[in-house]
């Protein structure tokens, strides 16, 4: 079931949802974004960095998605790899549809409009791959309340931004409901990452400096209780089918506790972050990922280990 339930290719996932591997950092399966498409409107969930925008335009052209029908750009949270290119995409689409909005919360808006601190921290891990982040005009945003229905033109089902903090304090998960069923949740990073194409195994998303384990588990539990039929990961791809989704979400909950204990115990052995990172890569990482391993992934492990160490009280934010 695992292999058949995991989708890494770009394309149509449900009657309204499309998946796009934006090939962030010039690598496949590094970052996904999602489209909600009706006959009358398009909603784009996350956009990647400013360097990824051309991939979006190409995908829309191939699938005959008119730019003028784009109603909303929806950030899952303020991080550069998720919405760093929002300003750039909005400016192009605005020429075709002056009513296009960035649909988000007041908190995410403030963070997107003032990205300098985040960019400084991100460059420590990802270097120049972070692209460029710029503010938008104030009226580019439409501020909404979380966990409430949002009107999407031409959509008969219900669309909401579900509050799922923990990875960051502003994290949300765009969700599509069909009557009493949760048809699709774009998890982004509220339930780890999926970097294996055949096994329902996950990786952590405990990025510093905002990661909060207790809140993260609360959000993960909320998602599990929604019993989604399909889920999308920012990093990366899709899991389809209620049973496969149930299994991978439970797997991630169990793994989250394991990873926290692993980081704590390995740090107590030597008191060195690098030692924890090396032990995780050697003992755990390669069994949970079948993507090509490189320096960027090593830096990712450093980051998620450090995020846990901050939350555990062993380190302070840089």
CB-based contacts of 241-250 (< 8 A; 24+ apart in sequence)? 241/1, 241/5, 243/1, 244/1, 244/2, 244/5, 244/6, 244/200, 247/200, 248/194, 248/200, 248/202, 249/191, 249/220, 249/223, 249/224, 250/224
Tell me if 129 sits within 8 A of 79, measured CB to CB.
no
Structure token pair of residue 277: 């990172």
pLDDT, tens digit, for every residue of 287-317? 999 987 677 788 899 999 999 999 999 998 8
Tell me if 68 sits within 8 A of 80, measured CB to CB.
no
Output the average pLDDT for the chain: 95
Q: CA-to-CA distance for 84 and 73, rounded, in angstroms? A: 12
pTM comes to 0.95
Residue 270 has what pLDDT?
A: 96
Bond before 236 cis per omega within 30 degrees: yes
Give the pLDDT mean for 35-50.
Answer: 97
2: pLDDT strictly greater than 90? no
Tell me if 267 sits within 8 A of 299, measured CB to CB.
no
Residue 3 has what pLDDT?
A: 61
Residue 7 has what pLDDT?
A: 96
pLDDT, tens digit, for every residue of 131-149? 899 999 999 999 999 999 9
- Structural domains in the chain plus CATH codes: 2-261 (3.60.15.10)
Report the candidate in 174, 190, 189, 15 with the shortest Cα–Cα distance to residue 102. 174
Sheet holding 70-74, edge to edge: 11-12, 17-21, 32-37, 42-45, 70-74, 101-104, 141-143
Give the pLDDT mean for 150-174.
Answer: 98
CA dist 255 → 64, 121, 123, 183, 259 (Å): 40, 26, 28, 25, 6
% the chain with pLDDT above 70: 99
pLDDT, tens digit, for every residue of 55-91? 999 999 999 999 999 999 999 999 999 999 999 999 9
Q: CA-to-CA distance for 46 and 164, rounded, in angstroms? A: 15
Tell me if 296 sits within 8 A of 281, measured CB to CB.
no
pLDDT, tens digit, for every residue of 209-250? 999 999 999 999 999 999 999 999 999 999 999 999 999 999
Question: What angle do the packed helices 242-270 and 213-226 form, to 10 degrees?
Answer: 170
Q: CA-to-CA distance for 113 and 106, rounded, in angstroms? A: 11
Higher pLDDT pick, 298 / 100: 100
Of how many residues is the chain composed?
A: 318
């Amino acid at each position: 079931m695992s292999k058949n339930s995991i989708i890494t290719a770009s394309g149509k996932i449900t009657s309204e949802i499309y998946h796009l591997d934006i090939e962030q950092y010039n690598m496949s399966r590094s970052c996904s974004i999602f489209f909600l498409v009706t006959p009358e409107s398009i909603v784009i969930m996350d956009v990647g960095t400013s360097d990824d925008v051309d991939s979006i335009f190409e995908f829309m052209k191939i699938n005959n998605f008119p730019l003028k029908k784009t109603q909303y750009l929806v950030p899952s949270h303020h991080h550069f790899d998720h919405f760093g290119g929002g300003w750039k995409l909005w400016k192009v689409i605005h020429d075709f549809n002056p009513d296009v909005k960035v649909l988000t919360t007041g908190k995410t808006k403030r963070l997107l409009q003032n990205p300098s601190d985040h960019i400084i921290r991100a460059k420590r891990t990802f270097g120049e791959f972070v692209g460029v982040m710029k503010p938008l005009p104030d009226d580019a945003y439409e501020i909404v309340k979380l966990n409430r229905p949002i009107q999407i033109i031409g959509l008969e089902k219900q669309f909401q931004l579900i509050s799922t903090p923990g990875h960051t304090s502003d994290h949300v998960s765009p969700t599509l409901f069909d009557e009493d069923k949760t048809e699709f949740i774009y998890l982004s990073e509220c339930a780890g990452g999926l970097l294996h194409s055949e096994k329902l195994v996950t990786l952590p998303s405990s990025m510093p400096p905002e990661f909060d384990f207790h809140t993260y588990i609360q959000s993960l539990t909320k998602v599990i209780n929604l019993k989604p039929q399909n889920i999308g990961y920012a990093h990366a791809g899709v899991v389809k089918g209620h049973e496969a989704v149930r299994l991978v979400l439970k797997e991630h909950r169990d793994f989250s506790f394991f990873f926290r204990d692993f980081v704590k115990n390995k740090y107590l052995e030597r008191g060195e972050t690098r030692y924890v990172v090396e032990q995780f890569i050697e003992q755990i990482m390669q069994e949970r990922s079948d993507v090509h391993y490189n320096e960027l992934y090593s830096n990712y492990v450093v980051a998620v280990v450090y995020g846990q160490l901050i939350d555990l009280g062993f380190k302070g934010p840089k």
